[in-house]
Structure 1
Amino acid sequence: MDYSTDVNVNKNAESDAGASDLTVLHESAKLIGQSATPEIAISGTLRLMSQMLGLNRGRVLLPSAINDNLQIRYSYGLRDEERRLGIYKIGEGITGSVMKSGQPAVIQNIDEEQNYLFRAVDRETLPDDVVAFIAVPIMDGNSTIGVLAAHRLRMRPRAIDSDLMILRILSTFIAQIISINNLIKERTSYLQEENRELKDALQNKSGENNHGILGESQAVRDALRQISRVADTVVTVLLTGESGTGKERFSQVLHLNSSRRDQPFVAINCAAIPEQLLESELFGHERGAFTGASASKKGKIELASGGTLFLDEIGDLNMELQSKLLRILENQVIQRVGGVKDIPVDVRIITATHKNLQEAVNKGTFRLDLFYRLNVFPIHLPPLRERAGDVRILASHFLLSANTEYSRYTVFDKGVMERLETYNWPGNIRQLENVIKRSVLISLEGIITVTDIEMILRQESAINEHLEAGQSSDAFSLPAFSAGQSEGLSPVQSRAHTSLPPVPQPQSTAYSSTQNRPYSWVRKDEAEAIEEALKHTGGNKTRAAAILGMTPRQFRYRIEKLGLPMNLSRE
């Protein structure tokens, strides 16, 4: 008897089956990468199973959002009514048993299996031949998240073990699709909730004419209530509070709620301008008043006439300018530098300081008469640590702003808000904004984790400790990792910060004569941080420089000055 024909037939069948399997896997992988929705990807995979492999009426069952019952979420070859009927409790029938056990099931003949329920598809709908049923678990790690199942004719050249194997492979594809979709839904839902909270907060604030002041704490409400009482008067207001509490923003609110709202609002920081230039900046100058004064120029006070002038850090004014400011408050006239003519002005002055002006008066550095004129209506702006509940609102706002600015789609992981709320925030709102921006830039996979926040806060604490200790400005050290320099870092670079020793930040001095000589300030104790950064980047100088917030040129300069081995930094 000649069996060669049968052998050749079997070999051809196996060859055809292998080619079909590869085609299905290849096309399914393409669907995962190209499909916009899981419906397209999974339904397309089930269609390939039916058309290429003869695995008919394929279905993916997932737990219901309402209860734990399995229901048919995706299918190919099933009517809507059959999909609706395909509901199983965990452990019920073949499908429920696979979900419960996490083990595949192969039913050679559904007519002989008592546990097969015929719930979704009636027996009359199926072919008269012997029908088999295969169900495999869809696994996410060690957890069963669903079931992939299909019918097939029992008597076929293709081995049923081959079908079982291909279904198990496809189930891993489907698990990936489901996991990605769940992650996207979770992020989207979380961000939508954040958007709703922020929108509600903004609507509430705008209804109270707060012009963008975010916060619902009693401390903020009290400050805004005081501002509303004096906004439409001519009384001089002194805003007090720590740096970063939003004094300029509150002064704008006061201006916008006054009758001067349509006139200029001019702000100037008295501490940010060198003393010899500040008088000209405030009062303007006449032509020829000093070298380079080729034309007359109006100062900030004249430019603000009819509106509001905001003088921040008023405690830094010298005694001469204090007396001139007092004259404005009393007579509403000024004289430009180099001029002799009084110029009338109509300006409301709002001042702010983080210093204790009463102590300055006692020390003789601030005029008592000016203090009384400025302190007619003082309003204290609370530090962020005293604004219970506002950190969450502000952090959400800064996250949305940073996502827009950097074209990112980043969300807070669980626990981040709680950690932000427990931090002391010595730099107040400005510091919170910088931390959120930096965390957006270094976050991995669009999620800001508690680890990311902890790393940034450790750096912030190290900077504050050195500033409080009064570190001299001539001792330059490695700059803290800045948000603007973190974009584009690899995961290794970003995570390297968690183990790098904290690096202090020098005190900044406005218009310092050494401000343009960053390469000459090198400290011996920088060597450890440089070596640690190189270790984390595998010797890549460019990435190590980015970790430490320096340019490659600054980084190489330090390697040379510190005498570090060049092979440490081989790229």
Structure 2
Amino acid sequence: MAHEVLLVEDDKSIATVITEALRDEGYDVTACDSLAARDALLAARRFDVMLTDVILGDGDGLESIGRVRDAAPDMPVIVLSAQNTLDTAVRASDSHAFEYFPKPFDLDELAQAVGQAVANRPSASSADGDQDSALPLIGRSPAMQGVYRMITRVLRNDLTVLVTGESGTGKELVAEAIHELGARKTGPFIAVNMAAIPHDLLESELFGHERGAFTGAVTQQIGKFEQANGGTLFLDEIGDMPAEAQTRLLRALQSGRIRRVGGRQEIGVDVRIVAATNRDLEPMIADGRFREDLFYRLNVVPIHLPPLRDRREDIGALVRHFLVQASEEGLPRRQIAEAGISALSTRRWPGNVRELRNVVFRLALLARDEVIDVTTIEDCLPQENMGNPHDAREVFEVALTDWLKSNRPANGSLYHAALASFERPLFEHVLRETEGNQLRAAQMLGINRNTLRKRLSDLDIAPEVFVRRR
């Protein structure tokens, strides 16, 4: 007997495409376009899995998930949403959804998720309720969707996370989101910037010290590990740790125990570790500057934050968010014209989101009119970062120069490091051109489809986000 699938989707074209794809896989699909129709079907029939949109004509598919749990407590739910924000991804996770797919998505992966849901049939509990959290991460670009999905996957466990990305991309915001939305949100969140602490004081800062442990240690000091007990310890710029401190950190991660500098007694600590770096750690491992075993201990769940140039479609939302922030901090209330957004979107943004925020605050302060337009931007900002969209070669050379300035790979590894850096935007561009069709993408690239799939998996690129629905 075919497995029964309930599809709740008010976009008829999307509902038709999903229904046909799942029926081709052997599923018996019943589609409806409202919460009322959904509730009536659940009361009358038993379904093996439900796929639901979030925003429907008569309500919110996630807010009403409690009624679904009452009617079918063991039925897996897969959430489909065009509201591609971190808030939606977290709400889907909080509702114990089996999987969350931002639109557009890959039909093959959706069918695979349906099969896994039917096979596993995990028991589901009542929804925890909607959490109206002030989430710091903003953007609905395909690049950010992978970040949101990875964050939701680590909220209900204590796996160590390594966040990578250029300076200014928001790595600490990811750490804060994991803490504030996860099971440790009632505990402390302690952040340590490894690059800001003198090397000879780093171990004392992390593990604490006893009185008299060294010159100047006139009192006992509790280290960051103990301060973060029961919560999250964010180790920023982990690539700047000296070798001896790396050894002690590895021991603490392996044993869950630390010893203060100058102390004899080991102290048990219960902390979740989120580390971050803007460096490529693998070349540092190759030339002995970073411990390989520590890297694997930290890199349990990797999350890569894209640079702003790879998510330019998010610039408008970010600018408007920062204008609100600026007014809340006492600067004049401003708006921005669409032409102003377009002008800002052509800039190089080597400082990423942090630079964009500073620029927006400057515009809010210096603009003469309430609405920021192109003239205001040209008057207030230097021109050296303006890209020339008509000169593709110049834009590419500028990007390469920026990369070379911000990366210092070990001797003999520059070629491979540069290729690895430019591989992601190349694959994303080809997937965008082919609308997520992996066979056509592999043909365009001149590589085997299996090779493409492996590289996409290694780079954590989800091809389904590039699929365009008509």
TM-score bucket of the superposed structures, by smaller chain: 0.5 to 0.7
Q: Distance in 2 between matches of 1:460 and 1:282?
A: 41
Residue in 2 that maps onto 1:304 = 228
Out of 229, 242, 246, which is 2:166 matched to?
242
- 1:377 aligned residue: 301
Mapped contact 1:206–1:212 kept (Cα < 8 A): no
Is the CA contact 1:435–1:456 (under 8 Å) kept in the aligned structure 2?
Answer: no
Equivalent residue, structure 2, for 1:227: 151
Q: Which amino acid aligns with 1:378?
A: P
Is 1:344 aligned to residue 268 of structure 2? Answer: yes
Map 1:139-538 to 2 at 5 A.
207=91, 211-413=135-337, 415-458=339-382, 461=385
Tell me what 2:121 maps to: none
Structure 2 counterpart of 1:184:
none
Distance 1:259 1:445, change over 3 A: closer
> 1:289-309 CA deviation, whole Å, 9 max, x = no partner?
223322111011110011110
Q: What code does the residue aligned with 2:285 have?
A: V
Instruction: Provide the secondary structure at the position in 2 that maps to 1:461.
Output: coil
Say whether the 8 Å CA contact 1:205–1:214 is kept in structure 2.
no
Query: C-alpha separation between the residues in 1 aligned to 2:147 and 2:369?
Result: 40
Return 408-417 or 212-221, whichever deviates more. 408-417
Question: What letter corresponds to residue 406 of structure 1 in structure 2?
Answer: G
Change (3 A) 1:456 1:311: farther
Contact 2:331 2:365 in 1 (8 A): no
* Preserved CA contact (<8 Å) 2:163 2:305: yes
Contact 2:366 2:380 in 1 (8 A): no
SS at match of 2:191: strand
Is the Cα contact below 8 Å between 2:164 and 2:305 reproduced in 1? Answer: yes
Question: Does the C-alpha gap of structure 1 residues 264 and 213 become closer, same or farther in structure 2, counting only changes over 3 Å?
Answer: same
Which digits, 9 at most, give the CA deviation of each residue in 1:475-513, with x for residues without a partner?
Answer: xxxxxxxxxxxxxxxxxxxxxxxxxxxxxxxxxxxxxxx
- After TM superposition, give the deviation of residue 389 of structure 1 in Å: 2.0
The one-letter amino acid paired with 2:319 is A
Number of equivalences: 272
CA contact (8 A) 1:201 1:214 kept: yes
- Are residues 414 and 357 of structure 1, via their aligned partners in 2, closer, same or farther at CA, if it must alter by over 3 Å? closer
The separation in 2 between residues aligned to 1:317 and 1:426, in whole angstroms, is: 25
C-alpha offsets along residues 402-427 of structure 1, whole Å, 9 cap, x if unaligned? Answer: 12212413222451011112222111
Shift of 1:227: 1.5
Structure 1 stretches of 4+ moved >6 Å? 199-203, 464-471
* C-alpha distance in structure 2 between counterparts of 1:409 and 1:242, whole Å: 30
In 2, Cα distance between equivalents of 1:341 and 1:460 = 57
User: Aligned partners of 1:426 and 1:297: how far apart in 2?
Assistant: 39
Structure 1: which amino acid aligns with 2:358? Answer: N
Question: What is aligned with 2:68?
Answer: none
- The 5-angstrom pairing of residues 56-95 of structure 1 reads none
Question: Is the partner of 1:415 in helix, strand or coil?
Answer: helix
Match of 2:37 in 1: none
Which ranges in structure 2 are unaligned for 5 or more consecutive residues?
1-82, 93-130, 387-397, 407-470
The 5 Å alignment of 1:18-57 reads none
Indicate how the Cα distance of structure 1 residues 332 and 203 shifts in structure 2: closer, same or farther if over 3 A, else same: closer
**Separation (CA, whole Å) in 1 of partners of 2:256 and 2:162:** 18
Q: CA deviation at 1:248?
A: 0.7
Which deviations, in whole Å up to 9, do the C-alpha atoms of 1:310-340 show, x marking residues without a partner? Answer: 1011000000000011001100111112212
Which amino acid is the alignment partner of residue 282 of structure 1?
A: L
- SS of the residue 2:214 aligns to: coil
Tell me if the contact between 2:347 and 2:385 (Cα under 8 Å) persists in the aligned partners. Answer: no
1:387 CA displacement:
1.6
Counterpart amino acid of 2:317? I
Check 1:272–1:455 CA distance in 2 against 1; reply closer, same or farther (3 A cut).
farther
- 3-state DSSP of counterpart to 1:379: strand
Determine if contact 1:416/1:453 at 8 Å carries over to the other structure.
Answer: yes
Q: Which amino acid aligns with 1:313?
A: E
TM (norm. structure 2) is 0.54
1:248-281 superposed Cα distances (whole Å, 9 cap, x missing partner)? 1111111223221211111111111222222221
**What do residues 407-448 of structure 1 show as CA deviations (whole Å, max 9, x unaligned)?**
413222451011112222111110100000011111113332
CA contact (8 A) 1:351 1:374 kept: yes
Shift of 1:456: 4.6
Structure 1 unaligned regions, length at least 5: 1-198, 472-571
The answer to whether the Cα contact below 8 Å between 2:348 and 2:385 also exists between their aligned partners in 1 is no
Native 8 Å contact 1:334 1:344 kept in 2: yes
- Alpha-carbon distance change, 222 to 202 in structure 1, aligned in 2, over 3 angstroms: closer
Range 200-209 or range 252-261, more displaced: 200-209
Does the 8 Å CA contact 1:286/1:293 hold for their aligned counterparts?
A: yes
Letter in 2 for 1:284: G
SS in 2 for 1:259: coil
Which one is further off, 345-354 or 254-263?
254-263
Q: Contact 2:322/2:361 (CA < 8 Å) preserved in 1? A: yes
CA distance in 1, matches of 2:359, 2:226: 38
Please name the residue that 2:69 is paired with.
none
- Cα distance in 1, alignment partners of residues 216 and 246 from structure 2: 26
**Is the 1:286–1:297 contact (alpha carbons within 8 Å) kept by the matching residues of 2?**
yes
CA RMSD of aligned residues (A): 2.9
* Residue 225 to residue 341, structure 1, CA distance change in 2 (3 Å): same
Residue 243 to residue 200, structure 1, CA distance change in 2 (3 Å): closer
Quote the offset at 1:231 in angstroms. 2.2
Rg: which structure is higher?
Answer: 1
Percent of paired sites with the same residue? 47
1:454 offset after TM fit, Å? 2.9
